[in-house]
Amino acid sequence: MALLLVLSSRFTIAEKKTQHLKRTYIIHMDKFNMPASFDDHLQWYDSSLKSVSDTAETMYTYKHVAHGFSTRLTTQEADLLTKQPGILSVIPDVRYELHTTRTPEFLGLEKTITLLPSSGKQSEVIVGVIDTGVWPELKSFDDTGLGPVPKSWKGECETGKTFNSSNCNKKLVGARFFAKGYEAAFGPIDENTESKSPRDDDGHGSHTSTTAAGSAVAGASLFGFASGTAKGMATQARVAAYKVCWLGGCFTSDIAAAIDKAIEDGVNVLSMSIGGGLTDYYKDTVAMGTFAAIEHGILVSSSAGNGGPSKASLANVAPWITTVGAGTIDRDFPAYITLGNGNRYNGVSLYNGKLPPNSPLPLVYAANVSQDSSDNLCSTDSLIPSKVSGKIVICDRGGNPRAEKSLVVKRAGGIGMILANNQDYGEELVADSFLLPAAALGEKASNEIKKYASSAPNPTAKIAFGGTRFGVQPSPVVAAFSSRGPNILTPKILKPDLIAPGVNILAGWSGKVGPTGLSVDTRHVSFNIISGTSMSCPHVSGLAALLKGAHPEWSPAAIRSALMTTSYGTYKNGQTIKDVATGIPATPLDYGSGHVDPVAALDPGLVYDATTDDYLNFLCALNYNSFQIKLVARREFTCDKRIKYRVEDLNYPSFSVPFDTASGRGSSHNPSIVQYKRILTNVGAPSTYKVSVSSQSPLDKIVVEPQTLSFKELNEKKSYTVTFTSHSMPSGTTSFAHLEWSDGKHKVTSPIAFSWT
């Protein structure tokens, strides 16, 4: 989340260079109907382009994610091209943004060592990371003890001024960069400020790749915080970096090219901590590209977005993508605020510089010491130095990046800062490497401190710091920033799929920038602690690699199912995981199936598998025509008019059951009834499973048939149906339940989310 905010300020600068006359388009061609006059499709692409523009050139030619190419055109040229024979679609390039140690222990990964097979298959798994690139000198990319690069790997180590082929090794097996879409939008890259190579100038890509599959590094920390051994989720897996994100953002033409190459290179897992807006799948370049990846047996893990706690704020909701939200772990970095009235409040901070005086300092609220009395955010140059000098300033969270606020206070002469949460962030505490003594506080404490500052005649405060604390409870809690359901694009598919650690995560960092990412931050670190669904996504990517190594025969859907159905939604005391934004129990709209549990996922018992054909049937259920399906799947496919396709029958590990209050159904005499079908595949020993259902609402009737499933052999499949009967509820109402199959050893659990609209 921190990086997302930092980058947004950089985008404003970069946008000034935008060229307005032309823009980039991704052209989808009907490859199967290429005119006979052409020898190959590349000639056809070039001829089609030249028919509307004498000067336009092909930027990328896509082989897997699309049948087509990208190019720069004027609006008029794009309109003309749309009318040419064989053109399926002309889609404008879209800018996406980044969704910006202790974790292995918190997840119990040390227990998986005894459960993993000793065949060494994990080292055959390659995790592709589409992000800001990689800092190859990090110890997290040490390849000591790893065998030869897998024979399946077809990728390469691309070079540039700041990157050469020797930067790759048996751990970092490949690195590429994609900048044509970015340069088309913003002009040639200034190599004085950005590396036109796979090198990571930002830190985000190094953080995500080392989280997923970094080697173990002893003595890792950030300024002494979170000290210990830092390691990725799948320490034996290989990493391939695909740089698509630059100072001005991440463009879909570049992302599509990266996915295309990743498929060709031979990755097994694709990690994408980036996102944009929601649109129909046949208009969504990333949804179409990831469909191709799934076809090639690649699991795609993506961040849910940092739009929480707002409802319906999700990104990356295609059902073939594993969508990951964020939770906390049981570690924080305490800081303490003591007011002049003796009251003390707990917050968090990663500040490690010169300590403030132990004596109380004057305390002021930003809105009272700003050029504009409505500015309570400590935005750039907003504070009046004469009113701030020598004081602690209370700055409200939001607007500009959190760490940047500390710089604003410092430049105005302030000695310290209190970062105050509002109701949007609740009690969520995100730690930052502030540039002066500062602490972040939850909403309740922030409100009390602001009340004190406005009522006391001479308000004062002291700031103290407490290092690293373990055993924080309750944990996990759902992060306030983590994007939430419902899934407004496809309401009958529950998203997010699950949550994973995404708050205050320690992982590798770029040597180009300091831990805040601000240009004035000259501190250099090998590890950084940051937060966002960008951080939770690579946790799941790495765990998927772990499962792929243990079960090479499993499909992407089977791996996702294992991760989802073994996730937990309650603490050990039986209480539901909390939402830190509200302080009350969270729901499947917040955490999906629950918090990931890799130990249980290694032996799930049963899985909900799905194939490309299942996803094609899903598109039919959305009433997509053959033209729209061809855009997504790049093949001729016509929905069978004799079949009644239903989204309810997609073999998904969770259930989302929307009811339409406008239908008039739902009364005691005329209830709403809907039936879902699922198929379970046995991936364990022969066993008999019995179903149980728990529901919040007595008005929801849930009937499962049959109630017992007996499996006699490996990979045997059994189907069941669930009938949901509901009485009328006010529009906007939600209710939740769980369905669980158990044989006494395994628990295969699915959340159920009811909604009335």
Catalytic residues: 131, 204, 534
The C-alpha atoms of residue 554 and residue 552 are separated, in whole angstroms, by: 6
Name the helix (H) or strand (E) containing 722: strand 717-726
The C-alpha atoms of residue 138 and residue 136 are separated, in whole angstroms, by: 5
Residue 672 has φ and ψ, to the nearest 5°, of -80, 130
Burial class (CB in 10 A: 0-12, 13-18, 19+), 168: buried
Do residues 562 and 607 lie in contact, with contact meaning Cβ atoms separated by under 8 Å? yes
3-class SS of residue 647: helix
3-class SS of residue 673: strand
Do residues 364 and 394 lie in contact, with contact meaning Cβ atoms separated by under 8 Å? yes
The C-alpha atoms of residue 402 and residue 392 are separated, in whole angstroms, by: 16
Sign of the Cα torsion 444, 446, 452, 454 reads negative
The C-alpha atoms of residue 413 and residue 86 are separated, in whole angstroms, by: 64
Do residues 404 and 380 lie in contact, with contact meaning Cβ atoms separated by under 8 Å? yes
3-class SS of residue 408: helix
The C-alpha atoms of residue 523 and residue 177 are separated, in whole angstroms, by: 26
Radius of gyration (Cα) for the chain, nearest Å? 26
3-class SS of residue 646: coil
Residue 147 has φ and ψ, to the nearest 5°, of -80, -170
Beta strand residue intervals within 432-497, DSSP E: 438-441, 460-465, 469-470
The one-letter amino acid code at 283 reads: K
Supply angle C-alpha 51, 54, 58, rounded to 5. 85
Classify strands 87-92 and 58-62 as parallel, antiparallel or unpaired: unpaired
The C-alpha atoms of residue 280 and residue 469 are separated, in whole angstroms, by: 45
Maximum distance among all Cα pairs of the chain, rounded to whole angstroms: 87
